[in-house]
Every structure is written in structure tokens, then in C-alpha cells.
Structure 1
Amino acid sequence: MANDKKNLKEKKPKFSPYWIYGILIALFLGFQLFGESSGSGGSEITTSEFFQYLEAGDIEEVVIITNTGTAQAYLTPDAEAKEEHKNSKQQPFIPSVSKLPNYKFDIGSLEKFENDIDEIIEGLDTKPIKKFDKESDTFGNLLIGILPFILLIGVWIFIMRRMSGGAGGGAGGQIFNIGKSKAKLFDQNTEVKTSFKDVAGLEGAKEEVQEIVDFLKFPEKYTTLGGKIPKGALLVGPPGTGKTLLAKAVAGEAKVPFFSLSGSDFVEMFVGVGASRVRDLFKQAKEKSPSIIFIDEIDAIGRARGKNAMSGSNDERENTLNQLLTEMDGFGTNTNVIVLAATNRADILDKALMRAGRFDRQIYVDLPDVRERKEIFEVHLRPLKKAKDLDTDFLSKQTPGFSGADIANVCNEAALIAARNGKKEVDKQDFLDAVDRIIGGLEKKNKIVTPSEKKAVAYHEAGHATVSWMLEHAAPLVKVTIVPRGRSLGAAWYLPEERLIVRPEQMLDEMCAALGGRAAEQVIFNKISTGALSDLEKVTKQARAMVTIYGLSDKIGNLTYYDSSGQSEYGFTKPYSEQTAELIDKEISDIIEKQYDRAVKLLEENKDKLTELAEELLDKEVIFKDNLEKVFGKRAFEKELPIAAEDEKETEDIPAEDNSDK
């Protein structure tokens, strides 16, 4: 019954002010149409008929309307009783209290009509009354007078409705609601399909977030022991690791109101708007408590105060942040509102925002490991029509360093490649091509490469392959190609080991392998080229990190100039002296040159094998691990690789680390 009543209420038409406008227009048209006939009255006759009635003595009064060129005739009481004048009066639509004329007619020339009527009246015993009058439209004149005001009021109402976000409010409107929160509300009436089942991996982070949902569902479970529900949790991690996805899962799982918005939604060109929106957001959340607020990319308003290079340019953002700090932990805060926030730039956030009592928990969402990548692949493979023999272990091991967003992109790209090739299902080769496409870029089939350039690229890539094969700690090589992709003319693909800590010898071996390309050009052609740009950039960053960040240089010692807070990026001074700067530059140069000489020496010792490998690369354009084994034999430092290749097609493994040369 309650539902029926609710449905009946919903079916009833809602009142609209446009109804009033319609009624007024209808009344106006009615007055214009019917008021004219009711006001004038009388049957239409000709002038000659009027003169006949006048000569017969039937006319009691004649009124000449000078401004319209018409006249109205009134009959005597005796004449009204005659049969011929029976239908002389028309019944008005609206009753009138004044006497209405019996006839009306056009007079033509006023002067001639007056002369004619005067001649006839002189010969009559009972002379009719002759009057002159002017006809005026009172309602029309009134309407013309007030019409401009009606139009002005109507335009004003229309503009105010647009600006207040009413019906038809569009971009640039809502001037009166500018201080209102832009948060989207998700509650039990809103269908959010994402759940914790859709969040693969991230076991620790997922457990923390699930507990927050549990706090709101069963608060007594925790408060009976004297504990307090946390006020906030901050999700921190690299881009694409699933921070926003976790928040979507909370919105789908929590049976409480969930307010979602971005940090940039508080930013506006008007002063004080950000703080007003923060107040309104928390006011709404408290009214619907227990509830959750999720602020994505909170660094847009949470940046450390007073740390910007452009002083004075962030006053409005600071006011917004101050209001947020007060709302999260001030005198009037409500503990039934939990704040979730996400950022990949936690180092620049204000310390007051990060403290316990505001964000009690900082949940680090890291890049997935090989086991978590397998779970993520299984989630994104669900909607795909994949081959039955597709091995998710193989895919997860071929994508080290990939985030959840990268894996989703790989799955989608593989499906597109399979569709482009007219396949009915997505197989392993499609995934390998997809990883190749994402890491290396689009294959440039029409790129013009001269034979001398192609030879230089072949020896360059063969140099990478040779040096990495000879070094113990270099990443295992999987594939070498001289097919242009993206901005690269060639690339050597590795399957890097997933390490948590890196030792100096491992970094030095990787630097030596990266310099193998330029060293090969020096050994074979006795000249170098610009093709080693990406290699030089990579080794320079590694050497600088060894010296200035990790303290791996004997001459500099156990010192680091790394600032984890990120505040040093706004400074104009270096944290070391000019003498130390010179020492750092010399140490970086010495490390790089020592590894370059080492690579040159290795290649000179294996020049014949380098030439053989380069010739095979020129012939096939793409070679794999098996080809290197035929030239060099089994690798002396071979570790047990996660994938065992059976044939050349299956060994087309595409690792995540791209050592491309531009």
C-alpha cells in the first residue's frame, strides 16, 4: 500500500510556474477575442438601412465613433418590439451592465454622413439624439503600458533560475551554489558494481580498507574494548597501482553513504570557495553519518604550506587546506565520518595533514609482484575470449614492473591485435605483441633506414647482447631487434630480476651492459654516433644515484644528498660545497668511463663472436636467446629463468625493461 501511494504521488504532475504563464496568456486572448464583441454589440447594417430606420422614426439615439469611422444606433422601445428588429441585439459572451446598441455600421465620410443625417432629422417630429464619441481599448492600453515591465521581470526570473542551478542551468551557471560541495554521493540506492573481488593483489592494502568498512558496519565490535574508529586513511603509491579502484570497492561494499570527489574540485577562481566547499562537504557527510568521504588526488589542496617557489600564489589553496584540517580534527568534528584520500605525491603533503588524528593510517599501494600480477591478469582476462592454453604464469613473469593499469592496457591491446588479425580468440602471441607495442611503441614499417645506419644499429644492439651475456649480474637477455619502434631504431630486451635491494656490483654490471652498444661502435667502426642517447641517460642517472643518493662511492663516503620530503626542490642552493660538487662530477665520470673501458675490453676479446651475432641480426632483424647460445654457448652465469622456451616462437618473451637506442 505504501508503495502504491508512493507511485501515485510520483505520477501526479508537478506544479510548474509555466502553468500560470499559460493561464494569463489564455485570459488575455479571451479578453481580446470576446471582449471586443461584448463591448461593441449590435448587428451589422449598411448606411442606407440606417437611413430607412431613421426616416421611419425607429432610431432613438445615434452615436458616431469619430476615431474608427463607425456609428452605433439605438432603437426606440416601440421599434424594438417590431418583428423586423427582433434580431437586432447580439447576446454578449460576457454580460454587460451598460446598454448595448442595436445596430452598428460604417459611416464612410464623416462630413457627408452628418449632412445627410441632419437633413433627415429636420423632417422628423421626434428628433433622435445625436452624439459623438471615441472608442478606447482600456485593457489593451493597460497591457501595452505594463508589457515592458513584464518582459523585464520574466528575463530576470529566467537569469536567476539559470544562475541558481535550476532547470536548464548549464555551464557558467550555479552562481549561488558555487560554495556547495561537488561530491558525488553513492549510497544503498546507487548501484556500484565494483567490489573487493575485483581488486586483485594488494592484499595488505585491501585488508586495511576492508577493516575501515567493517568499522562502520559493526562499530561496537571495536569500541567495546575502548578503541576508537580511525578518522582517516591515506592511500599512497605509484600511478596505476589501484588506489582509486580500492576506493570504488569501498563504495560498492560499504552500506553507508560514500562521498567521492577530486582535490581539484575545491579549487575555484573565487576567493573563499574552496573552504566553503569543504564545510559543505563535511556538513552533508555529518548529516548522513556514519559515512565515508573519498578525496582523490588530495595533493591538489594538501601541498605543504609556504613551500611554493611562487610565494603568495597559493593563499586560496592554503585557506582550503586549513579548513580541511579543522574539519578532520577540530573542536566540532564528528567521529562517524571517515576520510579516505589517495595521492602518488605524498612527499609534498603538509605535515599537519599527515599526522595521526587526521590520517591515522597511511596505506602504501606498491607495484604488484609476480604473484599479484597473475591475480590481476586473471581479473582482466575474464571478459576476453582467450585461448584455452593461455598461461597466466607466463604472462605475469613477462611483465615485471607493470602496474595494474599497465596490465589492463596489455589485455585490451592484445584483444585489439587479435581482432585486427581476424582471430576468434586471444592467444599468447597476441599478448607478446601487445607488450611489445606498449613498451617499444608502434612498429615503423615505412621508416627509411640506410644500409650503413642499419649496420651501425645491428652492431650497437649486438654489443649490448654480447656484454650482457658475459657479465654475471646483468639482466638475462631475451630478444634483440633492429626493427624501428617508436623513437628507437633498435632495442635489446631483458628480463630483469625483481630485487628489493641492489648491490654496487649489480649496478656496475648493468651500466657496463648499457654502454656495450657505444663500445661496439668504437671497436668495429672506430667511431661513435648519437645512437646511444638513451644508454648514456640511463647510466648517468645510475652513476649519480650511486654517488649522491645511495652513498656507494668511496671518495664521497657514506653521505646522501637525497631529501625524501621533497622540500629541497624549491631551494636555490645545493646541500654541498663547490669542492664537493667537483668531486661528485669527477666520481660520476670515473665510474662511467671505467665501465665503458670494461665494455670495450670485453668486446675486443670477443670481436669475432660480436661480428657473427651482428651479421645474423642483419639477416633476421630479430634474434632470441637461442641464437645467442649458438654463438656464445651456454651462459656461464645462467640462473634458472621463470620461463623455459621450447621453440623460437615461444621464446619471443617481451620483458618490461626496454634498453632502446634513440
Structure 2
Amino acid sequence: MAKDKKNINDKKPKFSPYWIYGILIALFLGFQLFSNNGYEEGNKITSSDFFKYLEEGDVEKVEIINEKVAKVYLTDDAEAKETHKKSIPKTYFPSVNKLPNYSFEFGDLAIFQNKIDEIKKTQTTETQIIFGTDSDPWGNLLMGILPFILLIGVWIFIMRRMSGGAGGGAGGQIFNIGKSKAKLFDQNTEVKTTFKDVAGLEGAKEEVQEIVDFLKFPEKYTTLGGKIPKGALLVGPPGTGKTLLARAVAGEAKVPFFSLSGSDFVEMFVGVGASRVRDLFKQAKEKSPSIIFIDEIDAIGRARGKNAMSGSNDERENTLNQLLTEMDGFGTNANVIVIAATNRADILDKALMRAGRFDRQIFVDLPDIRERKEIFEVHLRPLKKAKDLDTDFLSKQTPGFSGADIANVCNEAALIAARNGKKAVDKQDFLDAVDRIIGGLEKKNKIITPSEKKAVAYHEAGHATVSWMLEHAAPLVKVTIVPRGRSLGAAWYLPEERLIVRPEQMLDEMCAALGGRAAEKVIFNKISTGALSDLEKVTKQARAMVTIYGLSDKIGNITYYDSGQNEYGFTKPYSEQTAELIDSEISTIIEEQYQRAIKLLEENKDKLTQLAEVLLEKEVIFKDNLEKIFGERLFKKELAYNKVAEKNAEEEE
């Protein structure tokens, strides 16, 4: 019964301030309509008709308004005539005064009046001539106040836009601009994401689950003297699931969860950021125990004093100071946990990172092969996939992919399958999706000359040949000379997932990368600009070996990399003599690997030519084509990691 009553109340029209505006407009129009006692003006006639009626003695009086319009009043006898029956004015309301029968406009007043005087002399009529003025008070009033109405309306519109909303509530009006923009999730808000939807991230998930568990069952920890952590900072590359983990916390926690971005504190007005921080923690304390989640905290948490261009009163620094005080200041907050996420932890202020503010730093890394399999299983749930689809194979084909990348692969595979009219998403669709994401869209209609195509084929065949011959180079998966994205050809390799890298492994990779240019030199005795991306990659690796990892014998065990380096520092941490030595060593390393690649290709020139001819014919070749030409690859150490991962997965099952 109560529910029915509620539904009836819901159907009733709700009061709106626009009703008042509508009533005022209707009243104004009503006054305009009935300002002349609600009558319709008499019939329009010409001046010649008027003079005719005047000569016949039918006109009782003429009222001249504003020296332009004449209102004609007929005598009672004239109104009774058949000619003037239609001239009697119609009224909506009874009128005390007599209303005009006709009206017309005339030209010059003096000529008009002289004509009337002449007729009056000849006909001896007693027609009265009355002069008057007619005004529209309501129209004049409207024209007077209209500019003020427009100015007030524009001012209200600008204030609402500046305050970030067009309605009431926090941040909705200019007086509420200092209110927090945090979105509240509680028991009344349905958040469907749970920890079951977060695949991989076992360590990070365990730490976050413990925070949620502490809020649900605090006695379990407080009885042993433990205290609730103040904050947890999620750090990791983009797309690894930091925000997803926070959404899972919102779905699992049975406490109020305030979610907002670091940029929500930033505003054009001075002092607004600090005010919003105060308001956020005030709301959180009122609903404690509670959780605050700040995404992309580097928007306000950047280290203070690093920007040389900032003034003494930096708004961002004021916001950060207020956040530091609220998290662990003189007035401590009880049972309010702050969870933040960033992929730029190196630029955060040290005061923000200390224990007592962010007690835990949870590193969310790129997933390994086992975690990628779990992520694939999550994203494959809504897809209509083929029955023989192997998730182990998919996880092996996507090294270095983040969770967001895997979600994109699954979506792209479904789109490719739908484009080809398939009823299920199969293995080939996923391989095409990986190619599409890594290499770009195929451009089969791109105009390329036969000589250019031949050069590209030998370039890619050179990469494939050198990588096949080297122990530590990544094994080949696929080579194509179909243009993709900005490249004319591409080769896909399956790199070994290493936690540490040795010098011989880096040198083999550099040699394989230079195999393309070496093949052009061996076959054509010419080189081209096609090796730009290869040279860029090799130069970066060589520079990292020498200046970062200390893998050069001439430079020694020295690194010039400083993780805490000032981002505005322009000085080199070494002398000019050392700079020359570094440049020489980088050039030597690259040239040695280039000559090594040339030697390998000259020894296998016939096989290189054979492979390039197959590539020109088929445009795409795979591992099987290389095995037919070169025989089975001697080095299989790169599969060791995958076998260990598979063994661990079997033991867990």
C-alpha cells in the first residue's frame, strides 16, 4: 500500500522555478492584450472614405493620435445604417467610454486638418476634432528593464560555468566552489567490480584486501596493538590495473568510498584546491571509517620547489601542503584511509611518500605469462570464442602487454571476427588483433615500386636470418613486407621474459636489429633510410650499456643515471673528456655488431636470398618457412621461462 502511495506521489508534477517565469510572461502578455480595455480596433479605411463619411454627416468626432493616426467615431444614426453595421467595435469586456468605429493613417497633419475645415464650412457639420497621444506603458517598462535582465542572466550563466556546474549542491554555485568534487560510493551505490574481476596482481590485491579487511573487522588487528595504515600508494606503468584495483575496493568495502582525480583540486581561483581538500577530509571524517581514492595524484603531489618558474604563492603547492596536513598533521584523522594511484612516483614530493602518510607503496607491475593468462580469461568471458582457443598460447604471444592492452586485444579480435562474418572468435583473429595493435593497420593499396619492395624483402629477411643464427636473439614469429602503419615491412619476435639482462644478450639483440641494414649492404652494396627505427633502438641500447648499466670496460663500473635527478637540471654529470669517451664507446659497440651481422649474412648469403625470394612471393612468412631453409634452430633456451611458468601453473591446479 505504501509503495502504491509512493508511485502516486512520483506521478504528481514537481514544482519547478520555470513555472514562475511562465506565469510572469503570461501576465505580461495578458496586460499587453487587454491594455486597450480588451477591444479590437475598428476597421481600417482610407482617408477618402473618411472624407466621404464626413460630407454625409456620419462622423461625430475625430481623434488624432500622435499626429499620425485618426480614430473615427460615428454618430448613433450613422451606426444604424446598413453601410456601417460592421464598423461597431467588438469588446471582450464592457466599456464605459464609446469606442472608435474606424481608424486610418494620414500624411501631413496641416493638409488633413485644412481639408476637414473646408468640409465643415460647406456642410456645416458639428464634427469635433480632438488631439491626443497614445503610449504603451508595459512595452516601455519592458524596454527599460530588458538590458538589466540580460546583464543579470549573462552574469548568472558565467558564474555557473565557472563553478563547474549548473545546479545546486557542492560545486554547483559560485558560493560552493570550494566544496569537494569527490563522488561517494556506499551501500546505496551499486559498484559491480569486485576482487574476482581483478586478475593477476596477487601481491597488490593481497595488500589492498588487508586494508578492506581492517575496515570491516578492526578488532582482529587492534587487539594485537596494530594500527590502521594511513595510506597506500599504487605505483606502476599505465594500464596495469591501478584504477581497476581501486574500483574493486569500492565494490568490496562496506564503508563509504570517496573517489576523485588529482585534477579535481585544481581551479583557476586562489585557495580553492586547499578548500576542497579540507572539505573532502571533513566529509570523510563525518562518515568514518571511510576510504578516499585519489587517481593521478601527481597532478597535485609534484615535488615542491622544482619548478623555477613558479611564484612564491603557488596554488598547487598550497593544495599539496593542505593534503599533507590532513593526512598526518596536528589534528590526526581517525579511520580515514587514503589510496592514491600514479605512474610517475619519481616526481612526487618526499613528504608525501614518507611513512605516516603513505605507509605502503604497492608496485603494480606489468603481468607475467601466468598473470596474462588470468587476465585473458577475465576478458574472454563476454566473448563468443572458439572451443579450441588456447589461452596459454595467447599469453605467450603477448609479452610486455599490460592489462589494458590485453583488453584491447580481446575487443579488437571480436571486431575482426565480426568484420569477417564469423560466428566465434578464433586463434587467427587474436593473432591479427596483436598485429594490428603492434604494427598498425595493413595498407595493401600503398604504392610501392618493385625495387623498393625487393629492398624491403631483403631487409626483413636479414633481420630474420641474423636472429635465427644468434643464441640470445628473440625467436622469430612472423615476417611481412605488407606495409603497416608508417613502416614498409615488419618482423614479429617472441622475446624471452628476463628479469636481468647480460651484456651478450644485449649485443645479440643489437646485432639482430642491424641485420636489416647489413643485408642491404651485402646484397645491393648500398644502404637506405629504411633502418631508422633499428638505428634508434640500437643507439638507445648502446648508450644504456655505457652510461646506465656500467657494462663498458673502458668506462668502468660507473652509472650516470640518477633516479632523483632534478628534471630542470641541464648539466651533464661527467666531463668533456668522458663525454668523448662515451661517444667513442657507443660508436664502437654499434659498429662491431654491424660488422658481425655482415659476416653472418655473407656466410649464409644463399639462404638469405632464398628466404627473400619466398618473402617476395608470399609477402608473409612464418617460423616454418625458416625451418625449411635453415633447418631446426639450435638454441631453445628462450623457452625455459615458459616451461617453468607452465610447471608452476600445473602445480597450483
Which residue number in structure 2 is paired with residue 571 of structure 1?
569
Q: Is the 8 A contact 1:162 1:170 kept in 2?
A: no
| CA displacement at 1:70 relative to structure 2 | 12
Which residue number in structure 1 is paired with residue 203 of structure 2?
204
Q: Is the 8 A contact 2:496 2:641 kept in 1?
A: no
Q: Is the 8 A contact 1:302 1:353 kept in 2?
A: yes
Q: Is the 8 A contact 2:288 2:336 kept in 1?
A: yes
Which residue number in structure 1 is paired with residue 534 of structure 2?
535
Q: Is the 8 A contact 2:462 2:608 kept in 1?
A: yes
* CA–CA separation in structure 2 for the residues paired with 1:643 and 1:551: 26
Which residue number in structure 2 is paired with residue 326 of structure 1?
325
TM-score for both structures, normalised by structure 1:
0.77
- CA 602–286 in structure 1, closer or farther in 2 if over 3 Å, else same: same
* CA–CA separation in structure 2 for the residues paired with 1:512 and 1:530: 18
* CA–CA separation in structure 2 for the residues paired with 1:460 and 1:24: 80
Q: Is the 8 A contact 1:163 1:173 kept in 2?
A: no
- CA 224–163 in structure 1, closer or farther in 2 if over 3 Å, else same: farther
Out of 587, 590, 599, the residue aligned to residue 588 of structure 2 is 590
The reply to whether residue 475 of structure 1 matches residue 505 of structure 2 is no
Task: Describe the superposition over 1:4-52 as per-residue Cα deviations: whole angstroms up to 9, x where unpaired.
Answer: 77667656655445555666677788899999989xxxxxxxxxxxxxx
| CA displacement at 1:149 relative to structure 2 | 8.0
Task: Describe the superposition over 1:246-287 as per-residue Cα deviations: whole angstroms up to 9, x where unpaired.
Answer: 111112222222222211122222222222222222222222
Q: Which moved more, 1:432-441 or 1:286-295?
A: 286-295
Out of 155, 166, 182, the residue aligned to residue 169 of structure 1 is 166
Which residue number in structure 2 is paired with residue 395 of structure 1?
394
The reply to whether residue 234 of structure 1 matches residue 233 of structure 2 is yes
Q: Is the 8 A contact 1:163 1:174 kept in 2?
A: no
AA partner of residue 585 (structure 1): D
Matches within 5 A, 1:293-332: 293-312=292-311, 315-332=314-331
Matches within 5 A, 1:66-81: none
Matches within 5 A, 1:312-461: 312=311, 315-461=314-460
Q: Is the 8 A contact 2:265 2:277 kept in 1?
A: yes
Which residue number in structure 1 is paired with residue 43 of structure 2?
none
- CA 467–28 in structure 1, closer or farther in 2 if over 3 Å, else same: closer
- CA 34–407 in structure 1, closer or farther in 2 if over 3 Å, else same: closer
Which residue number in structure 1 is paired with residue 600 of structure 2?
602
AA partner of residue 620 (structure 2): V
- CA 8–213 in structure 1, closer or farther in 2 if over 3 Å, else same: farther
Which residue number in structure 2 is paired with residue 214 of structure 1?
213
| CA displacement at 1:211 relative to structure 2 | 1.7
Q: Which moved more, 1:24-33 or 1:242-251?
A: 24-33
Which residue number in structure 1 is paired with residue 544 of structure 2?
545
- CA 105–539 in structure 1, closer or farther in 2 if over 3 Å, else same: closer
- CA 506–3 in structure 1, closer or farther in 2 if over 3 Å, else same: same
- CA 536–145 in structure 1, closer or farther in 2 if over 3 Å, else same: closer
* CA–CA separation in structure 1 for the residues paired with 2:457 and 2:64: 109
* CA–CA separation in structure 2 for the residues paired with 1:437 and 1:499: 25
Q: Is the 8 A contact 1:387 1:427 kept in 2?
A: yes
| CA displacement at 1:194 relative to structure 2 | 1.4
What secondary structure does 1:340 align onto? strand
* CA–CA separation in structure 2 for the residues paired with 1:227 and 1:643: 40
* CA–CA separation in structure 2 for the residues paired with 1:361 and 1:26: 65
* CA–CA separation in structure 2 for the residues paired with 1:70 and 1:145: 26
Q: Is the 8 A contact 1:215 1:229 kept in 2?
A: yes
| CA displacement at 1:426 relative to structure 2 | 0.8
What secondary structure does 1:570 align onto? coil
* CA–CA separation in structure 2 for the residues paired with 1:105 and 1:321: 78
Which residue number in structure 2 is paired with residue 617 of structure 1?
615
* CA–CA separation in structure 2 for the residues paired with 1:313 and 1:424: 64
What secondary structure does 2:574 align onto? coil
- CA 555–36 in structure 1, closer or farther in 2 if over 3 Å, else same: closer
* CA–CA separation in structure 1 for the residues paired with 2:517 and 2:37: 104
Q: Which moved more, 1:593-602 or 1:275-284?
A: 275-284
| CA displacement at 1:165 relative to structure 2 | 4.8
What secondary structure does 1:260 align onto? strand
Task: Describe the superposition over 1:543-579 as per-residue Cα deviations: whole angstroms up to 9, x where unpaired.
Answer: 11111111111111111111222x3431011111111
What secondary structure does 1:295 align onto? strand
TM-score for both structures, normalised by structure 2:
0.78
- CA 331–3 in structure 1, closer or farther in 2 if over 3 Å, else same: farther
- CA 522–276 in structure 1, closer or farther in 2 if over 3 Å, else same: same
Q: Which has the higher contact order (CA 8 A, sep 6+)?
A: 1
What secondary structure does 1:264 align onto? helix
Identical residues among aligned pairs (%): 86
* CA–CA separation in structure 1 for the residues paired with 2:384 and 2:362: 35
AA partner of residue 188 (structure 1): Q
* CA–CA separation in structure 2 for the residues paired with 1:373 and 1:175: 48
What secondary structure does 2:436 align onto? helix
Task: Describe the superposition over 1:488-536 as per-residue Cα deviations: whole angstroms up to 9, x where unpaired.
Answer: 1222221111000011111111111111111112222222111111111
Gapped regions of structure 2 (runs ≥ 5):
39-62, 74-92, 103-112, 118-130, 643-653
* CA–CA separation in structure 1 for the residues paired with 2:13 and 2:359: 50
Count of residue pairs the alignment pairs up? 583
| CA displacement at 1:289 relative to structure 2 | 2.2
| CA displacement at 1:353 relative to structure 2 | 0.9
Which residue number in structure 2 is paired with residue 632 of structure 1?
630
* CA–CA separation in structure 2 for the residues paired with 1:32 and 1:418: 68
Which residue number in structure 1 is paired with residue 500 of structure 2?
501
Aligned CA RMSD, in angstroms, stands at: 4.1
Gapped regions of structure 1 (runs ≥ 5):
39-64, 72-92, 95-99, 112-133, 645-662
- CA 630–283 in structure 1, closer or farther in 2 if over 3 Å, else same: same
* CA–CA separation in structure 1 for the residues paired with 2:615 and 2:631: 17
AA partner of residue 457 (structure 1): V
Task: Describe the superposition over 1:74-118 as per-residue Cα deviations: whole angstroms up to 9, x where unpaired.
Answer: xxxxxxxxxxxxxxxxxxx99xxxxx98x9788999x9xxxxxxx
